[in-house]
Structure 1
């Protein structure tokens, strides 16, 4: 009896639980039926829009791919080389010009290899590392010696003078533009050789013309001899121009030219140059001042250094207003390591003329450069003293002479006088100058 009651109660409880679950599912069904219908309708509305967005993304991707291909085609036909490396200096891509310049015959566009494996150029690798480290554009120039796997082709491969401009890219990548400057250097070499040959050929007829003019000078009376004197001045000017051109060409072709180096006392040499230019000084009523050590001994070719100061002082005299002063300031500088055994002698030559324009300053040492008319013409033209004055080559020769002596020259405008400021530096200072002047 008890067992029957137990099973009857169990059956009633299970039945009641089943009834509750059925009622609950019915209630949830009635509750969710409107929402399910809404979501279904929303899905029907969103599917076309989603398909439209997907189509737009695909079209945008195609446009980007087409634009990328256009840029690659432009770079491929560009007259300069371009290459791009990743953060590990692996070559990702380069154009045709870069392949020709760097002789990348074995590289294929789908290959990713270390740039240093393909191009044996420490300078290029160092430029890329500098760009990545500084995150700033860099430039560099060097002579690239191309390598070749075929030994038979080695004699035909020529070294190239390259100029590179690099810029940092996202994700550690670096892009490099390469310019082959060798054709320009070859053209300049051919031009210089042609001018030198022409100058050699001109010397003989100019000498003959001068002899004829000298003969006419002795036979003509005033006022006819005035024209002959003028002709003599122009012939001398042409002879000086030819000689200066030959001299400059020889210096540039052989920077380590043979110098008759010996002890030279610079203070007295400058004084002798000033005495040579005394006629021009008196005409302009100019004065000269020197400040610095009295005994300045350097190891140099006396004739060449005399030529340097002759040209510089003559230019200062030309462009200085009357009754002004030309200054020469000398001092001995210590080196970066404060080594008394290797000091630097600095000489500043300052005038009170019109100075240089900012556009002319980077070019004043170029041959035949004519800048501001205020400094390219002087009433004393034609009366200059010395073989290198007034022909447009003087400052170029001065620079080459100083380079041959291991020195340098810089052109500026003095902030106080407003005139030209030439700063010379010599490294071969002798112990005679150091004993009392160097500290």
Structure 2
């Protein structure tokens, strides 16, 4: 009975297999039947297909060679480059990136997260931001290399890095990294050398001034005018040296130089204008103030006086005669639970900044287009001509930054003149006696 059942099952299985083969042959016959009448056409197409295949192979070889060329260029580039996939796994990096980010322990072909290899959350956030926005992004930060040996960590200096990231296909991101630490060290060494030189110049300049003052009392006209001219030039050099030392101190340790107190902004600006009234009246220039009548900020009064003195003095010198310098103050509400800030706009009616000058107006010793100045040579030696050293706006910027604020230089769309916008935090109260801090 068992054998009979086995034979019966075998017969059923063989019958089913034969039926499948029949159906397969029938299907193949239906597929190949339309091609049987065009065999001659297929024979003509085969050489063309072979030619296309050869072209595709050549293009593939060319692309592979081009890719190798680009990799070689990136390998020996003076900046670092790395590339990650959609999961932030490191795909490739050049030698400069290995040195800057200490990636010597990573080898091509390894699958490891970039954050495991480089303990830099700034770099990781930059990559995520690039992938989310699908636009190039830039960031500058201080990178602290991580080492397993604690002694090695204490010996390695942090690096100032600047990265520019680009979105690529399939969620990948490429990042170019520049080591800005050598440039920063060079600037610090330059500033230190200039500061040492300024310190050394103060004593001989003071001695020269004493000698000139002695000669001034003894010289008779017309020779006394040369002594007066010499005294003006010595004063200008002394002011230049003092300004440089002050700027260096602000950059080195800005907060320790501040003596904060409650300062009423409108009264401070008007007191600055009173000191500049003789120069302003000479050219029929007036001031127009708009904004809160009584607004207080927590700031260093003497430093803020210096800020508005430089800004208003510049506005007077570059304004056209019989015009008005506008000073507009307003409170800007804070965003994302931040404190409100005070925005002060100083707008003149001169020729404004040239487009080439705008990115550099706050750089030390930068002198803009002299064609827009209407100051005559006789005025360049006046008491208010001291900002002509090229350090005035640089000092203003450092004082504003020390207060936690910001300053921007623009051209006003209506007056066409220079537009300096100062934004300061630390509002104590306004005319409505509302406390903000």
Question: Is this a same-fold pair by TM over 0.5?
Answer: yes
Q: Name the residue aligned to 1:349.
A: 346
Name which one, 1 or 2, has greater alpha-carbon Rg: 1
Q: Name the residue aligned to 1:97.
A: 96
Q: Name the residue aligned to 1:429.
A: 427
Which whole-Å CA distance do the structure 2 matches of 1:292 and 1:53 have between them? 76
Q: Name the residue aligned to 1:269.
A: 268
CA drift of 1:125 comes to: 1.1
Which whole-Å CA distance do the structure 2 matches of 1:40 and 1:152 have between them? 80
SS at 1:358's partner residue? coil
Q: Deviations over 1:97-125 (max 9, x none)?
A: 11111110111112221111111111111
Q: How does 1:17-416 map to 2 (within 5 A)?
A: 39=39, 52-336=51-335, 342-375=339-372, 378-379=375-376, 380-385=379-384, 389-416=387-414
Q: Name the residue aligned to 1:12.
A: none
Question: Normalising to structure 1: TM-score of the pair?
Answer: 0.84
Q: Structure 1 unaligned segments of length 5 or more: list them.
A: 1-31
SS at 1:422's partner residue? strand
Which whole-Å CA distance do the structure 1 matches of 2:420 and 2:354 have between them? 14
Taking structure 1 as reference, are residues 48 and 393 closer, same or farther at Cα in structure 2, changes over 3 Å only? same
Taking structure 1 as reference, are residues 338 and 163 closer, same or farther at Cα in structure 2, changes over 3 Å only? closer
Which whole-Å CA distance do the structure 1 matches of 2:434 and 2:85 have between them? 59
SS at 2:388's partner residue? coil
CA drift of 1:290 comes to: 2.0
SS at 1:179's partner residue? strand
Which whole-Å CA distance do the structure 1 matches of 2:399 and 2:354 have between them? 25
CA drift of 1:383 comes to: 0.6
Q: Deviations over 1:300-330 (max 9, x none)?
A: 2121111111111111111112211122222
Which whole-Å CA distance do the structure 2 matches of 1:416 and 1:121 have between them? 46
Taking structure 1 as reference, are residues 317 and 186 closer, same or farther at Cα in structure 2, changes over 3 Å only? same
Which whole-Å CA distance do the structure 1 matches of 2:360 and 2:127 have between them? 30
CA drift of 1:217 comes to: 0.5
CA drift of 1:436 comes to: 8.0
Q: CA RMSD in A?
A: 2.5
Which whole-Å CA distance do the structure 1 matches of 2:343 and 2:58 have between them? 68
Moved more, 142-151 or 187-196: 142-151
Which whole-Å CA distance do the structure 1 matches of 2:41 and 2:333 have between them? 88
Which whole-Å CA distance do the structure 2 matches of 1:415 and 1:138 have between them? 30
SS at 1:257's partner residue? helix
Question: Normalising to structure 2: TM-score of the pair?
Answer: 0.85
Moved more, 303-312 or 215-224: 303-312
Q: Deviations over 1:272-324 (max 9, x none)?
A: 22221222122212222222233232222121111111111111111112211
SS at 1:435's partner residue? coil
Conserved 8 A contact 1:370-1:376:
no
Question: Aligned pairs, how many?
Answer: 400
Taking structure 1 as reference, are residues 219 and 100 closer, same or farther at Cα in structure 2, changes over 3 Å only? same
Taking structure 1 as reference, are residues 226 and 111 closer, same or farther at Cα in structure 2, changes over 3 Å only? same
Moved more, 48-57 or 203-212: 48-57
Taking structure 1 as reference, are residues 123 and 343 closer, same or farther at Cα in structure 2, changes over 3 Å only? closer
Taking structure 1 as reference, are residues 220 and 130 closer, same or farther at Cα in structure 2, changes over 3 Å only? same
SS at 2:419's partner residue? strand
Conserved 8 A contact 1:251-1:400:
yes
Moved more, 98-107 or 59-68: 59-68
Q: Deviations over 1:138-183 (max 9, x none)?
A: 1111111111234443233221111111111111111111111111
CA drift of 1:432 comes to: 5.6
Q: Deviations over 1:339-384 (max 9, x none)?
A: 8xx4322222221111111222222111111222234672222113
Q: Structure 2 unaligned segments of length 5 or more: list them.
A: 1-32
Q: Deviations over 1:386-424 (max 9, x none)?
A: 8x5221111111111112222222222222221112222
Q: Deviations over 1:184-216 (max 9, x none)?
A: 111111111111111111111111111111111
